[in-house]
Chains A and B, each alone.
Chain A
Amino acid sequence: MENGYYLLAAFTAVWAGVFAYLLFLSGRQVRLHQKINAIKQVLKEKESK
């Protein structure tokens, strides 16, 4: 098992990379939806006036 650290490093790198990208995408999705909803609200208010 002397090379076990390399195996651990490779698996950690892959899963950390995939999860970091997923988190990045999720964060972007939340921010985009917030912006979309905010503009929709403003447009609705403009329409009702």
Chain B
Amino acid sequence: MKRNALLMLSFILMVAALYLIFIYVPTESKMGVVQRIFYLMVPMGWIAMLAFIVTATGSILYLTKKSDKWDALALSSCEVGVVFTTLALVTGSIWAKPVWGVWWDWGTPRLTSTLILWFIYLAYFLARNLATEEYRGATFAAVAAIIGLADIPIIILATTLWQGLHPPPLIFQEGGLDPKMRFTVLMSVIAFTVLYIVLLRFRISLRQSEAELGTLKELDE
């Protein structure tokens, strides 16, 4: 699909998601309007994990096939992922204050494991930037991403195994969520996933330009 078509699709889906969040979906009776943060927080958390899975997959393929295109995928997904993980932590914290009465709770494993994911993302960049040669940095970062992948099942299972203040998983549970709320959250997840793909493609094209610049510089010397 061409970049402009994907950008247009992302825009349409985002407008539809905003309509659903602010007009279509009913206000939750106990929490009131603040519950609508849920429709942002869930997509942010989902993309934080998706982006890291893509990073780790790109890293595995880079280590096995030694092709720069997989490194570009891993690096680009990692950069977009760190943005969405930061936003997941910020929106989660803004949600926690009015609903739980605290900005942060260390006893809630979903929050702590998401924060650990954020540090793993940073470790990826540190591994890349501290290495003296680019290919070494890419290799160290790929290894860090593969090790860091262990955090993803912990985040997913955190609300089932060690709930803390976080509610148990409701979205796909029978009778867990109002059908309108379920539809809205799923639409929001789809809209932000398309936005993630748009940003990922943009970042990959930048990486290609960086590679082109590197080749041209070598020719110029």
Contacts and interface: CB of A to CB of B under 8 A. Distances in A.
A39 B217 contact: yes
Contacts of A17: 83, 86-87, 90
Interface string B59-70: 000000000000
A22 B199 contact: yes
Interface residues of A, number: 26
Nearest to A36: B213
Contacts of B206: 25, 28-29, 32
A42 to B, nearest CB: 6
B209 A9 contact: no
Given A13-B87, A14-B44, A17-B86, A39 B33 contact: no
Interface in B155-197: 195
Interface stretch (B91-99, B113-121, B123-131): B91-99
A10 B10 CA distance: 20
Nearest to B86: A17
Prevailing SS type, chain B contact patch: helix
A33 to B, nearest CB: 7
Q: How large is the interface on B (under 10, 10 to 19, 20 to 34, 35 or more residues)?
A: 20 to 34
Interface of B: 31-34, 36-37, 40-41, 44, 80, 83, 86-87, 90-91, 94-95, 97-98, 195, 199, 202-203, 205-206, 209-210, 212-213, 216-217, 219-220
30 contacts: A1-B33, A2-B32, A3-B34, A3-B98, A6-B37, A6-B98, A10-B40, A10-B41, A10-B91, A10-B94, A10-B95, A13-B90, A13-B91, A14-B44, A17-B86, A18-B87, A21-B80, A21-B83, A21-B199, A25-B199, A29-B206, A29-B209, A32-B206, A32-B210, A36-B212, A39-B216, A39-B217, A39-B219, A42-B220, A43-B220
Interface of A: 1-4, 6-7, 9-11, 13-14, 17-18, 21-22, 25, 28-29, 32-33, 35-36, 39-40, 42-43
